[in-house]
């Protein structure tokens, strides 16, 4: 069931409906009266091939909200306005959409969209926190152009991301009761108070992994490098340097059932950090580098029964480099990414990647969306944890 409420982003709900239908879903749309000011019910009927509903009273011969609630395998609200979020939080049911959602027991996904002030208001933040605590899944909002020519947080998530969240809501809860520790983003190794040694990672892969694991019931902690972002519902530990990431990971390692090291940790750092900004007119500075801590190797040496997954970013010799890392760092799985080309790897929505496994169940190099790759990695983690629970143990 696709619920559409009264915000300017309601037109994007039509794109969500089309994508869901293309994915093989049967889609029933319920619009609030305010939503019809932005988009009509006939649009959704044409896209889905099903009636679209707007009123509790349009089918007097049946209890419409009960039927719709019982038929739904998953419900998603696009956009979820501040008003609808408040109603869902406090159990108000004064229209067909909120009455149906109050009756429904299926998974619920919300895609908030509103002006920044409304999103950041304490009442809205409190309502969202309550809904998340109840198990409601949220996607977005994003930062970008808003109505009235404004810019900021509150923009509806992209339709593809909403559909991905719906898929996650239907995912098996095979990680319920498990704790996953994920690293994400780059590290910045300071040269002086202004400059740093870093890399091009944006943390998109880590965010996709966190969303996938969270959607499958895991408790997720992400040790997060600078500049990256993570979906709501995840515990975030922010760090800057490789040393800080090492300390944060080791402090939480023993409590984790699985560790997925997706961060692009800088391999080198300046041996000495200047206390003040290096000036161009002072001449060329001599920058001496030293290796950063090898966090993954240290985890491999310390591991007990945790599942351990590493990532490798390579420009050539992918399989050789991946197999070397798989063995030398005692990994269950390594994801080897091809980087250095446009449209793949750092900052892109797709990866050219292969999966190399200690048990020999490899997947050769292919193109993935980051969400697809995250799903494949978390599938392996869940399988390995299931094997461990049955006495087989990680790594076969």
Based on the fold, state whether residues 275 and 250 are members of the same structural domain.
yes
- Measured CA to CA in angstroms, residue 213 lies from 92, 108, 169 at distances of 32, 17, 11
394 lies in some domain: no
395 lies in some domain: no
Based on the fold, state whether residues 284 and 358 are members of the same structural domain.
yes
Based on the fold, state whether residues 205 and 78 are members of the same structural domain.
no
For 263, phi then psi, to 5°, come to -65, 145
Based on the fold, state whether residues 216 and 72 are members of the same structural domain.
no
Give the CATH number of the domain where residue 155 resides.
3.40.50.1950
Give me the mean pLDDT over the 226-242 stretch: 86
Please state, in angstroms and rounded to a whole number, the distance separating the CA atoms of residues 188 and 333. Answer: 26
| DSSP 8-class letter at 231 | -
Distance, C-alpha 295 to centroid of its chain: 23
Select from 146, 169, 192 the last residue of a domain: 169
Please state, in angstroms and rounded to a whole number, the distance separating the CA atoms of residues 112 and 154. Answer: 7
The set of long-range contacts for 229-236, using a CB threshold of 8 Å and a minimum separation of 24, is 229/203, 230/184, 230/203, 230/206, 231/138, 231/139, 231/207, 232/128, 232/132, 232/138, 233/132, 233/137, 233/138, 234/210
Based on the fold, state whether residues 220 and 328 are members of the same structural domain.
yes
| DSSP 8-class letter at 264 | B
Based on the fold, state whether residues 308 and 213 are members of the same structural domain.
yes
Tell me if residue 290 falls in helix, strand or coil: strand
Based on the fold, state whether residues 254 and 127 are members of the same structural domain.
no
369 lies in some domain: yes
Interval 326-385: pLDDT, tens:
999 999 999 999 987 777 778 787 889 999 999 999 999 999 988 889 999 999 999 999
> Exposed/middle/buried for 286, CB within 10 Å: 0-12, 13-18, 19+?
exposed
Whether 396 shows a pLDDT value over 70: the answer reads: no
Based on the fold, state whether residues 148 and 220 are members of the same structural domain.
no
Select from 144, 169, 194 the last residue of a domain: 169
Based on the fold, state whether residues 160 and 193 are members of the same structural domain.
no
Based on the fold, state whether residues 95 and 185 are members of the same structural domain.
no
226 lies in some domain: yes
Query: Residue 391: its pLDDT value, please?
Result: 55
192 lies in some domain: yes
Local confidence band at 43 (pLDDT 50, 70, 90 cut-offs)? very high
Q: Which domain holds residue 258?
A: 179-389
15 lies in some domain: yes
295 and 318 in contact (C-beta within 8 Å)?
Answer: no
Based on the fold, state whether residues 241 and 349 are members of the same structural domain.
yes
Share of the chain above pLDDT 70, in %: 97
Query: Residue 395: its pLDDT value, please?
Result: 47
> Exposed/middle/buried for 150, CB within 10 Å: 0-12, 13-18, 19+?
exposed
Q: Which of 83, 127, 199, 351 is catalytic?
A: 199
Whether 44 shows a pLDDT value over 50: the answer reads: yes
Query: Residue 304: its pLDDT value, please?
Result: 86
The structural domain count of the chain equals 2
Distance, C-alpha 143 to centroid of its chain: 15
Residue 309 bridge partners (DSSP): 260, 333
SS (H, E, C) 144-194: EECHHHCEEEEECCCHHHHHHHHHHHCCCCCCCCCEEEEEECECCEECCCC
Select from 147, 169, 191 the last residue of a domain: 169
Interval 76-116: pLDDT, tens:
999 999 999 999 999 999 999 999 999 999 999 999 999 99
127 is catalytic: no
Give the CATH number of the domain where residue 296 resides.
3.40.50.10300
How many residues does the structure list for the chain? 396
- Greatest alpha-carbon span in the chain: 85
Tell me if residue 258 falls in helix, strand or coil: strand
DSSP of 77-135:
EEEE-HHHHHHHHHT---SHHHHHHHH--S-EEEEE---HHHHHSHHHHHHHHHHHHTT
330 lies in some domain: yes
Local confidence band at 143 (pLDDT 50, 70, 90 cut-offs)? confident
Interval 175-208: pLDDT, tens:
989 999 999 999 999 999 999 999 888 889 999 8
314 lies in some domain: yes
Based on the fold, state whether residues 97 and 216 are members of the same structural domain.
no
Please state, in angstroms and rounded to a whole number, the distance separating the CA atoms of residues 344 and 35. Answer: 38
- Compute the chain's Rg from CA coordinates: 24
Whether 149 shows a pLDDT value over 80: the answer reads: no
Interval 282-320: pLDDT, tens:
888 888 999 999 999 999 999 888 999 999 989 899 999
């Amino acid at each position: 069931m696709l619920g559409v409420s009264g915000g300017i982003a309601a037109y994007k709900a039509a794109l969500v409906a089309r994508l869901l239908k293309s994915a093989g879903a049967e889609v029933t749309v319920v619009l609030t009266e305010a939503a019809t000011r932005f988009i009509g019910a006939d649009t959704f009927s044409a896209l889905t091939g099903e009636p679209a509903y707007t009123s509790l009273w349009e089918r007097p011969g049946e209890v419409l909200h009960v039927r719709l609630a019982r038929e739904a395998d998953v419900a998603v609200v696009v956009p979820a306005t501040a008003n609808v979020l408040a109603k869902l939080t406090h159990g108000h049911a004064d229209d067909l959409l909120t009455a149906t959602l109050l009756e429904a027991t299926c998974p619920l996904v919300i895609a908030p969209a509103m002006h920044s002030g409304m999103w950041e208001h304490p009442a809205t933040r409190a309502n969202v926190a309550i809904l998340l605590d109840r198990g409601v899944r949220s996607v977005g909002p994003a930062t970008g152009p808003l109505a009235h020519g404004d810019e900021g947080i509150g923009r509806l998530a992209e339709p593809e991301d909403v559909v991905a969240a719906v898929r996650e809501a239907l995912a098996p809860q095979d990680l319920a009761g498990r704790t996953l520790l994920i690293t994400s983003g780059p590290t910045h190794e300071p040269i002086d108070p202004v400059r740093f040694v870093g890399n091009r990672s944006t943390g998109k892969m880590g965010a996709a992994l966190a969303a996938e694991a969270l959607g499958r019931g895991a408790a997720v902690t992400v040790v997060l490098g600078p500049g990256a972002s993570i979906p709501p519902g995840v515990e975030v530990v922010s760090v800057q340097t490789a040393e800080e990431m090492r300390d944060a990971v080791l402090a939480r390692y023993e409590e984790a059932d699985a560790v997925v090291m997706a961060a692009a940790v800088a391999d080198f750092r300046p041996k000495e950090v200047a206390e003040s900004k290096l000036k161009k007119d002072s001449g060329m500075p001599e920058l001496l580098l030293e290796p950063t801590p090898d966090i993954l190797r240290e985890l491999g040496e310390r591991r007990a029964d945790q599942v351990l997954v590493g990532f490798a970013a390579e420009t050539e010799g992918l399989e050789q480099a991946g197999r070397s890392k798989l063995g030398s760092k005692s990994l269950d799985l390594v994801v080897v990414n091809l980087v250095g080309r446009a449209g793949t790897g750092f900052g892109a929505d797709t990866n050219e990647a292969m999966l190399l496994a200690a048990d020999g169940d490899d997947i050769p190099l292919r193109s993935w969306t980051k969400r697809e790759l995250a799903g494949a990695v978390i599938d392996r983690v869940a399988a390995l944890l299931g094997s461990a629970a049955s006495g087989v143990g990680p790594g076969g």
